[in-house]
Structure 1
Amino acid sequence: MAQTSKQFVWGINGHPLTQEAYKQTTWDRQVLFLKELGIKSYRMDVPLDPKGVIRHEVKFRKFVNALRESGVSILPVVFPKFNRSDTDSIAVYDMLFNEGKVFCKRYYHLLDVVEVGNELEIGLLKKKGTTDGTKAGHYDLAKSRNLMWNLAAFIDGMKSVKPTIRVSLSLAWTHWYYLELLKSYGVNYDIIGYHWYDNMGDITNVVKPYGNFLPKLIAEYDKEIWITEFNIYKGTLTKSVERQNSYLENSLSKILQQGIVKGFFFYELFDESALQSKLPHEAHYGLIFEKDLQYYKKPAFYTYQQFIKRNKSK
């Protein structure tokens, strides 16, 4: 049986080590907003060097300590130095095992849950965006074998140091054959980290032939399910703040009623105006936007805050 969380995990995404909107001068403000929302876990990207050491280690430790003082844990999304060659040699396994071991030895006391990579299944699809990822034929199986070997090694290395550490692996939309690959290669993870946006439909009742798939995944893979990214597609770039708010309100009500998902992380805390010129589709996902050095909360901020407040004890 899958080990499950004792309480529902309320979280949000941010980029305090890597993105301009989250730079160090805003750290105190981020912590205050997390406390105001009632967030208990902050999902953040944490780049590693090839040895398994966090690239911004001093900043990382300082920020994590500030979060812990406020009662907030982190869900780090780490990016190991995977070997991309088409091989499953023992040498590759040993290298990634050691990387995971080094990482966990240095930071085990700060971490209970780690997410390894981000939507790695997309890179395995033969035709990105044109297949639903439900069948073996949709995937490059040679690349898949190599990734499975890398993932298994890094996770095994972490768990050799801290057997109780829990590992989340993320996927998006209906890319379910990725879960079958993880199962068939014996990758030792604990949590399915689902990413879902409004262009994918209603996660509790997707259009035919997908339907209400979350109960089926629980039955088939015996893993805890968290939603580690959730929002409207492109945020409020092309849709109103009211649309963002209504999608969150209606969807989260259905998700909680279903009683399957054990963690929910909105994507993300801040809009990222620095991305507007080159990546405008990534710039408007926040619950909060900044203008003329002032911060403004979108309606979804208050809706999410109320959901957390009402459901915190459940």
Structure 2
Amino acid sequence: MAAALSLVLAACGGGGGSDSASTNAASASDTARSGSASASASSVAGVPATDTASTTTPAAADTGTSKSTASTAVVGNAANAPSTNTGATSGASTPAASAPDAASSVTSTPIPPQTARLFYGVNGHNNEGGAYDISSTALQLAQLQDLGAKFYRNEVYSPGTANKLAGIAQIMAAGGVTIYPVMLMGIDLVNNEDEAYNAGFALGQATANSRRYPYYEVTNELGSGALVGNVDGVYPQQYDMAKFRMMRGVIRGMIAGIRSVDTSGKIVMGGETWLHYGFNKMLAQGMEPDGSIGHPKVDWDITAWHWYSEMGDITNACGGTGCHNVLAELKKFGKPIWINEFGVRPNFGTDQQIADYLVGNRMMAQFVALASTYDIESIQSYELYDDPPTGEGPFGLLKNDGVTQKPAYSAYKNFVATHPM
């Protein structure tokens, strides 16, 4: 393949599922953060599109060693990524917007025994500007340490962004915080699964070349863009065949690209959201939307998921196909679970109501109480800083000046301190 590929990136943030109650300027858009990338096919020539990678090797320690700049031609800039379809249709699966819940408090949740594992984390956007550009790495590290957060999830979408994050990760690791990359890529300008695979391979290889991470997340809410209408996403037939195949190519390519450099880092299956676990089921089973089997399978080490306030109870989430225990469905994959985006919609209520819900019985308190039952290894709040006015909204624990703490900051900090994991 000789032509360059221009790709739209499905970016992290904002979660899945529409916030139908959003009627004011403070509410967050459900459109995903976005960027674009171009991948030269010549940089991955000779990589078979049928190559699959096993990802069950143990994770390597985050040593802080920065790798050399990758030569893969992947160039990033801003563009619109495909977003979850939120139009109302028969059997629609838009979560109802949540009202402030008086029962959402931490007082009724038992405190689990302390263990040595990492558990609490936060999302950041060091490659997307805003407060992250005006806040030094040292300041961000100090804030994460104060919060008690050990994981810091950030996006990459090109060799340049990968190298930038690698430098930040080295400083963070010395301070006891583990950064891991979520690799962003979409399918808008690829034509088939082979092209998607080659582009994914290039970004996966570039990311692993920039630094040997203990974890790599492959894509972000990608499957949402293949849904056929506003459906739950629990069944194969609810996904578009052509889009699914290209998305499978991106994911398989990313994993193979990582494995061409790093055979130890664990693969985190890109966080999906709401009831869209049918996408992951097809990947794991080698199935396609028409129900046929025998197609390429995808293996991974950790299943990631995203959950936001309008989605309600993650163990009893109700859509057009009925009510589902999402954690029970995710546990069937046989992998540890990370809830690596959770947050409260900015139009939920006052800042204090948002803080109370964040740590309450449908978010942090529930996740902690159910951690041993469903093998939840980590939960990661969305996000450290508010977006600027042109972004998705004020989801942050701090305002977009990078220094002003919101009520959610102290709520998160106090919860972590009183619920060691």
Match of 1:28 in 2: 138
Deviation at 1:83, TM superposition (A): 8.2
Measure the CA separation in 1 of the matches of 2:327 and 2:255. Answer: 25
Q: Any unmatched runs of 5+ in structure 2?
A: 1-54, 60-115, 287-295
State yes or no: 1:270 paired with 2:385.
yes
Match of 2:153 in 1: 43
Secondary structure at the counterpart of residue 23 of structure 1: helix
Match of 1:173 in 2: 274
TM-score (norm 2): 0.63
Letter in 1 for 2:418: R
Letter in 1 for 2:386: D
Measure the CA separation in 2 of the matches of 1:3 and 1:212. Answer: 29
Secondary structure at the counterpart of residue 365 of structure 2: helix
Give the paired residue count: 293
Match of 2:228 in 1: 126
Q: 1:151 aligns with which of 251, 264, 275?
A: 251
Q: Do the aligned residues in 2 keep the contact of 1:82 with 1:96 (CA within 8 Å)?
A: no
- Please, what is the CA RMSD of the aligned residues? 2.7
Letter in 1 for 2:161: R
Q: 2:217 aligns with which of 115, 122, 125?
A: 115
Deviation at 1:105, TM superposition (A): 3.2
Q: 1:304/1:162 Cα in 2 relative to 1: closer, same or farther (>3 Å)? A: same
Percent identity reads 27
Measure the CA separation in 1 of the matches of 2:335 and 2:201. Answer: 23
Deviation at 1:4, TM superposition (A): 9.1
Secondary structure at the counterpart of residue 43 of structure 1: strand
Q: 1:240/1:4 Cα in 2 relative to 1: closer, same or farther (>3 Å)? A: farther
TM-score (norm 1): 0.83
Letter in 2 for 1:67: M
Letter in 2 for 1:156: A
Match of 1:230 in 2: 342
Match of 1:68 in 2: 173
Secondary structure at the counterpart of residue 341 of structure 2: strand
Q: 1:136/1:97 Cα in 2 relative to 1: closer, same or farther (>3 Å)? A: same
Q: Do the aligned residues in 2 keep the contact of 1:86 with 1:143 (CA within 8 Å)?
A: no
Q: Do the aligned residues in 1 keep the contact of 2:192 with 2:246 (CA within 8 Å)?
A: yes
Match of 1:78 in 2: 183
Q: 1:212/1:88 Cα in 2 relative to 1: closer, same or farther (>3 Å)? A: closer
Measure the CA separation in 1 of the matches of 2:383 and 2:259. Answer: 29
Structure with the larger RCO, 1 or 2 (CA within 8 Å, 6+ apart)? 2
Match of 2:161 in 1: 55
Measure the CA separation in 2 of the matches of 1:56 and 1:153. Answer: 17
State yes or no: 1:206 paired with 2:206.
no
Q: 1:19 aligns with which of 129, 133, 136?
A: 129
Measure the CA separation in 2 of the matches of 1:82 and 1:188. Answer: 21
Q: Deviations over 1:45-74 (max 9, x none)?
A: 1221xxxx23362x4343222212211111
Q: 1:24/1:78 Cα in 2 relative to 1: closer, same or farther (>3 Å)? A: farther
Q: Any unmatched runs of 5+ in structure 1?
A: none
Letter in 2 for 1:36: D
Deviation at 1:154, TM superposition (A): 1.8
Q: Deviations over 1:284-307 (max 9, x none)?
A: 1011115xx683222221221122
Match of 2:409 in 1: 301
Measure the CA separation in 2 of the matches of 1:176 and 1:92. Answer: 21
Q: 1:247 aligns with which of 351, 357, 375?
A: 357
Measure the CA separation in 2 of the matches of 1:123 and 1:143. Answer: 8
Deviation at 1:206, TM superposition (A): 2.4
Secondary structure at the counterpart of residue 305 of structure 1: helix
Match of 2:419 in 1: 311
Measure the CA separation in 1 of the matches of 2:150 and 2:313. Answer: 25
Measure the CA separation in 1 of the matches of 2:334 and 2:130. Answer: 39
Match of 1:103 in 2: 207
Deviation at 1:95, TM superposition (A): 5.6
Secondary structure at the counterpart of residue 253 of structure 1: helix
